[in-house]
Structure 1
Amino acid sequence: MCGLAALSFHAPPGNAEVVLQAMSKHIAHRGPDDHGLMVLENGSAGVAHRRLSIIDLSPHGRQPLVNEDRTLALVCNGEIYNHQELRLDLEAKGHRFTSHSDSEVILHLYEEIGADVVLKLKGMFAFVILNLQTGDLFCARDPLGKKPLFYAKVPQGVAVASEIPALFKVPGLERAIDSEAVGLFLLRNLRNIPDPKTIYQAIRSLPPAHVLHIEKGIAGEARRYWHPSLVSQPTTPADVLEAFDLAVKRRSIADVEIGVLLSGGVDSTAIVDSLNRQGASDLRSYAFGVDEHDEELMRARRAAEMLGTRHTEIHFHAERQHALFDDLLRHHGQPIMALPLTHAMMLFEAIQADGLKVVMAGHGADEVFYGYNGAQNLASFSRFNDAFPGPFSRVLAGALSALFSTGRLGETLRLLAHKPGQRKTALYQHEASTLWPQLFKSPPALASIAAWSQPWFAGVPRLSYIDEAAFLGLMQENAHALTISGDLPAMAHGIEVRCPFMDQDLIELALTTPYDDKVKRTHNLSGGKMILKRALKDRIPADILYAPKRGFGYFVQEEAVLRGPWKARLDEAFAAPDDLSGLFNVKALLDAKSRFDQKDPSVPAILMAKLYALQRFQCLQGFGG
């Protein structure tokens, strides 16, 4: 894990090296072990790197890495888990390696097959390759977006970095707000601003599974390269177990000690069990909870004792978490929901203090094996919808939805009224049609929702609704709990998080597994992830395997925090709320706060938490010029 920065200018500005040094310094927390920089002689382009040494701890692994004839230079943030197989093949073709770094295979593979390099990599990555002859940049982000990559248009050209604040070091960067980004952030299932948007009009996030060419200071269109099959195919528990164990094995390769996040749930328990079966021992494990009586912590203790780990518990501390929330906002460079990222920040603080650089975590299993509590309702609706898929049903449902516009019935009718690939868009547009005019002086266009969500379903055959919703959740909606939570709070403390359930091969297997194999037809609190549980039934005790589903930090929820220990801060923020450079109607913000205080269900805690995140971010960094 590391941090990177890159520049591509229209003309030599004369200060590219100075700017890159400033950008690199700002992301030093991502790579405290080493740093490197390379700039073209004419100053028109360059790359910089901050290193967190995990594989090949020697100076030979220092980046930027260059190829044999010094025509290409690479900076990479991430880990390539199949680097050993790729290296053997490349060496057989005559390539000469100067290190044992996993990243170096990217450079030589790019020499062989160009942009298709991303199709051969198994891992998590965001990287930039600089052409040392032309100054052009090739940028790429892994299929699930586990590693971030931001780029900005500036007067001199284009700047690229692992974190937004590093881009602020480039002279002339405009900071005008993107109102569409703020509007999307406020929608119910989103806890962060979704790709490719950022809070700033001039800055974009390269979406997961995309590549970008930057030539002579001009960024082209980002191109998607990963289109997994979403067509159901027969899958067995044995298939799942084999893919899972391989995913854990791939993530066990490191030249440093590996720890584990152990909640005592199915996913984290399975990871530690698999590590033990593959020869690990005396692992250090970590768990978070409200206090020592937390049900999740008690379960984690049981799992730790059973698995033989050296276990550490971290307890909720309201004031410390608010300070960490401010740190998160400063690192992220834009608004984001506090929970459960602040829980993770406390965990990674403790892990860093113990001297660990790498941990494994169970992120992703709920998204692809349908472990969330709402999965059974989605499966029931999908079975009904699949039975009446035709245009007549959609027309009838559309007519009825005009009569029943609110509540669960209205939502169901809206889903029935729209084609596959458009159903989530319809729900969000209905929500935004009410919410946005209430808050914004000039509401964003509803078309911005379709522009964000629907491209993910381009060329995809008809899907059952549960599969459609899950795929958008995996790629976009749940980034806060998946990719951001595995990078932002961890890298703020120089920690790499490896997630076996987000292994590309395992994900592709799960995406084609029929949802009837994942979700029980009978409703109960442990009715999801059934094929995974069947795969693990001989490894994990039933009381853990079939325990009710809980989320990370389940007993510390937004509403309790906002109405309790953070209430004074909330009151202070909304005593005279900021309108975000004229974006919001201040009277509407005051009204929303009043309704929240009165426990009006029209202002749920998740919306209030987002509005507070916007206010807090404004307080810390400010918007506009």
Structure 2
Amino acid sequence: MCGILGIASKLPLANQDWFSEGSIAMSHRGPDDAGEWWTNDRRVGLAHRRLSIIDLSSAAHQPMSNVMKSLTIVFNGEIYNYKELQLKLSSKGQIFKSNSDTEVILAAYNMWGVDCVKYLIGMFAFAIFDTKAQSLFLARDRAGEKPLFYHHVKGVFCFASELKSLMANRGVSHQIDMGSLDCYLAMGFVPGEQCILKGFKKLPPAHALLFKLNTGEVKVWSYWRLPEFNGKSNSSMDKNLILDELENLLESSVGQQLTADVPVGVLLSGGVDSSLITAMAARKLPKVKTFTIRFPGHGKLDETEHARLIAKYYNTEHVELEAKATTADLLPKLARQFDEPIIDSSMIPTYLVSQLVRQHCTVALGGDGGDELFGGYRHYSRLLWMQNHLGGIPYSLRLIISNMAQWFLPVGFKGRNWLQGLDMDLKYELPLIASYYDKTTRRKLLTQLTSSWPLIAEEVDQKRVPKNTDLLQRATRMDFANYLPEDILVKVDRTSMLNSLEVRAPFLDYRLIEFAFCRIPSYLKATATSKKLLLKELASRILPPEFDQQRKQGFSIPLSSWLKAGSFRELFHDVLLSTQTIFDQRIVRSLLRGQDLGRNNSERLFALVLFELWRREYAVTI
């Protein structure tokens, strides 16, 4: 796991001074080594920060060039099938001077050109400068585990793993993109290629990019898409065969992802996903390292009893770590680290877990992706219940209820979002259930900016809804393409990298992804009353009989309790009631009062605080 940075220009560069500073800004991503490379004419520069995982020797130093010096790469991530690819490429005459997966990507590009990404199994964001073609080729993994930001203006193209590296260039304006801010306040993140800063973009998951040095042109394309469902959609299918296939795929993925030249562990919460990964790891290693975190004083967050059961059953080398008491002093640090703020206070425990686990290992396997692939979120069952029970209510009546909820129920009132979602046709659409601020509230929040305030979030969201007549297929595909890469994977990447820890996700092997969406029918994922059905069947097959399959402990913090008194309350009030804030004071005070009255506004307030801390940290203008 590493950090990458690059610049390429059609004309000689006028300003290169910021480049080294940009590399230093993400030194936490790679504390083991650093490198910088430039073409002779100084029109192309690449920088790298290395966290050594595969081939710890200097032979794996980056930026890395091939033997002919015609190709140079910077790479962030891991290629889990690199050994198989190395053998295949060696048989075709490719020569290797290291045992690193970085060199395998170089050889793959040399053999197959831009189609090399189709052969890669792993998480990655990389850039290759091709001297002969005078082009810069970038690609990002299929699920979006590794980030990649870029900026292109007047023939100058820059990219980086983290936005803060590009913001080191003070010659480029750092101004809020108002449409992206609207999406942030509504969805909790900025989706797709959009970026919170005007003029900047993200390369979406499963996309590649080509920058032509001589013309200054940029071409972006998708190299992979989720397959359509083509399995049997009735109960006559052989569930045992599907279970066998799932078990084999998961075991293969975990086996590949255990490969490293540094200590590897498993993040064991005691839930279904992490327990299955532990079970598979125990088949591959004689003594698996597992880690569980205790949060003293918060019994509902205590996972140790469930994790101990799995650790004992599989005889793992189990470590129980205790998180220290958390104060609000951590929030400015996290705001600085998250290049685009996301509305997810669970970044706090995720950071604390990464900090503790890094003291024992450099690589950890987690359970991310299981909910999106196998129907694990609670809202899937709620949507199916709505479809079953509310579909017969005339649309005109549902629209009245939706409008009444918006106008007469206060923000934070339990169930308000679901009532507002009644205006959707569940045969083709999806309600924005996880909406933090509806259109009316967003308009009031930024009263002074109303004239330049594009309220586009709902339109953007609906355009991203997959065209699928199956409600559960539609909902899981929507989350896979949006919530997973823009919230879950961002949270894991930024917090783990801040601690120089690599977190891998076996469920996000693209073969497992394709299997989940192409082969598993919806009725084996979730119903109106149950979730994650097929994974629980697998759990019944291989986990201990006394394992509690019904337990679903979300990874969260007691933020509502913390806002009643203490450092979090003080920080929230200081930031949001400051004259520096861009948010309307009447709405802010109403949200604070509502929280004190027991309404569910803690995450909404977190959204505003994190954004303000981030904006001030980087002196971002409106």
Counterpart of 2:303, as a letter, is: E
In structure 2, relative to structure 1, the CA distance for the partners of 1:147 and 1:226 (3 Å cut) is same
Q: Identify the residue that residue 486 of structure 1 maps to in structure 2.
A: 492
Q: Identify the residue that residue 367 of structure 2 maps to in structure 1.
A: 362
* 1:119-147 superposed Cα distances (whole Å, 9 cap, x missing partner): 22110000111122454311111111100
Alignment of 1:123-134 (within 5 A): 123-133=122-132
Distance 1:620 1:19 in 2: 18
Distance 1:452 1:88 in 2: 44
Q: Identify the residue that residue 3 of structure 2 maps to in structure 1.
A: 3
**Cα displacement (A) at 1:313:** 2.1
CA contact (8 A) 2:341 2:610 kept: yes
Counterpart of 1:302, as a letter, is: L
Partner secondary structure for residue 259 of structure 1: strand
Partner secondary structure for residue 463 of structure 2: helix
CA contact (8 A) 2:265 2:288 kept: no
1:532 aligns with 2:535: yes
* 1:298-348 superposed Cα distances (whole Å, 9 cap, x missing partner): 2223333333323122235221xx333322221223323352111121122
1:202 aligns with 2:199: yes
Distance 1:424 1:70 in 2: 52
Q: Identify the residue that residue 277 of structure 2 maps to in structure 1.
A: 271
CA contact (8 A) 1:8 1:215 kept: no
In structure 2, relative to structure 1, the CA distance for the partners of 1:624 and 1:494 (3 Å cut) is same
In structure 2, relative to structure 1, the CA distance for the partners of 1:126 and 1:81 (3 Å cut) is same
**Cα displacement (A) at 1:367:** 1.6
* 1:238-258 superposed Cα distances (whole Å, 9 cap, x missing partner): 111111111101101111110
Q: Identify the residue that residue 576 of structure 1 maps to in structure 2.
A: 578
* 1:469-501 superposed Cα distances (whole Å, 9 cap, x missing partner): 211212212446531133111111111111111
Distance 2:522 2:62 in 1: 44
Q: Identify the residue that residue 385 of structure 2 maps to in structure 1.
A: 380
CA contact (8 A) 1:175 1:201 kept: yes
1:94 aligns with 2:93: yes
CA contact (8 A) 1:154 1:173 kept: no
In structure 2, relative to structure 1, the CA distance for the partners of 1:63 and 1:463 (3 Å cut) is farther
Counterpart of 1:507, as a letter, is: I
Counterpart of 1:567, as a letter, is: R
1:561 aligns with 2:601: no
1:589 aligns with 2:588: yes
Q: Identify the residue that residue 503 of structure 2 maps to in structure 1.
A: 497
CA contact (8 A) 2:155 2:216 kept: no
Q: Identify the residue that residue 22 of structure 1 maps to in structure 2.
A: 21
**Cα displacement (A) at 1:281:** 0.2
CA contact (8 A) 1:260 1:283 kept: yes
Distance 1:559 1:445 in 2: 31
Distance 1:218 1:534 in 2: 53
Q: Identify the residue that residue 63 of structure 1 maps to in structure 2.
A: 62
**Cα displacement (A) at 1:154:** 5.3
Q: Identify the residue that residue 235 of structure 2 maps to in structure 1.
A: none
Alignment of 1:204-353 (within 5 A): 204-216=201-213, 218=216, 220-234=218-232, 236-291=242-297, 293=299, 294-307=301-314, 308-315=316-323, 317-319=325-327, 322-337=328-343, 339-353=345-359
Partner secondary structure for residue 186 of structure 1: helix
What TM-score do the two structures reach when normalised by structure 1?
A: 0.88
**Cα displacement (A) at 1:608:** 1.4
Q: Identify the residue that residue 615 of structure 2 maps to in structure 1.
A: 618
**Cα displacement (A) at 1:365:** 0.8
Deviates more, 1:369-378 or 1:137-146: 369-378
CA contact (8 A) 1:291 1:315 kept: no
* 1:5-62 superposed Cα distances (whole Å, 9 cap, x missing partner): 000123112654x443222222111111112221111111121111111111111111
Distance 1:409 1:482 in 2: 22
In structure 2, relative to structure 1, the CA distance for the partners of 1:408 and 1:359 (3 Å cut) is closer
In structure 2, relative to structure 1, the CA distance for the partners of 1:499 and 1:23 (3 Å cut) is same
* 1:346-404 superposed Cα distances (whole Å, 9 cap, x missing partner): 122122223x210111111112111223332223345679xx8xxxx9xx954334322
1:519 aligns with 2:526: yes
CA contact (8 A) 2:525 2:532 kept: yes
In structure 2, relative to structure 1, the CA distance for the partners of 1:549 and 1:588 (3 Å cut) is same
Unpaired runs of 5+ residues, structure 2, are 233-238, 406-415
CA contact (8 A) 2:464 2:478 kept: no
Counterpart of 1:433, as a letter, is: K
Unpaired runs of 5+ residues, structure 1, are none
Alignment of 1:145-156 (within 5 A): 145-153=144-152
Distance 1:280 1:434 in 2: 58
Counterpart of 1:243, as a letter, is: L
In structure 2, relative to structure 1, the CA distance for the partners of 1:155 and 1:172 (3 Å cut) is farther
**Cα displacement (A) at 1:567:** 0.9
CA contact (8 A) 1:369 1:529 kept: yes
Counterpart of 2:10, as a letter, is: H
**Cα displacement (A) at 1:169:** 2.1
CA contact (8 A) 1:8 1:44 kept: yes
Distance 1:408 1:591 in 2: 18
* 1:587-606 superposed Cα distances (whole Å, 9 cap, x missing partner): 333333333333456xx222
CA contact (8 A) 2:563 2:569 kept: yes
- Measured on the aligned residues, the alpha-carbon RMSD in Å equals 2.7
* 1:82-119 superposed Cα distances (whole Å, 9 cap, x missing partner): 11222222112211112111122222222222222222
Counterpart of 1:562, as a letter, is: L
Alignment of 1:459-478 (within 5 A): 460=467, 462-478=468-484
CA contact (8 A) 2:211 2:219 kept: no
Counterpart of 1:434, as a letter, is: T
Aligned residues: 594
CA contact (8 A) 1:260 1:285 kept: yes
In structure 2, relative to structure 1, the CA distance for the partners of 1:622 and 1:409 (3 Å cut) is closer
**Cα displacement (A) at 1:445:** 3.3
Deviates more, 1:331-340 or 1:238-247: 331-340
Q: Identify the residue that residue 413 of structure 2 maps to in structure 1.
A: none
Q: Identify the residue that residue 53 of structure 1 maps to in structure 2.
A: 52
Q: Identify the residue that residue 415 of structure 1 maps to in structure 2.
A: 424
**Cα displacement (A) at 1:78:** 0.4
What TM-score do the two structures reach when normalised by structure 2?
A: 0.88
In structure 2, relative to structure 1, the CA distance for the partners of 1:430 and 1:128 (3 Å cut) is closer
Partner secondary structure for residue 188 of structure 2: coil
Q: Identify the residue that residue 408 of structure 2 maps to in structure 1.
A: none
Identity of aligned residues (%): 27
Q: Identify the residue that residue 450 of structure 1 maps to in structure 2.
A: 459
Distance 1:412 1:164 in 2: 34
Distance 2:309 2:342 in 1: 33
In structure 2, relative to structure 1, the CA distance for the partners of 1:374 and 1:548 (3 Å cut) is farther
Partner secondary structure for residue 47 of structure 1: strand
Q: Identify the residue that residue 73 of structure 1 maps to in structure 2.
A: 72
Counterpart of 1:7, as a letter, is: I
Distance 1:577 1:225 in 2: 47
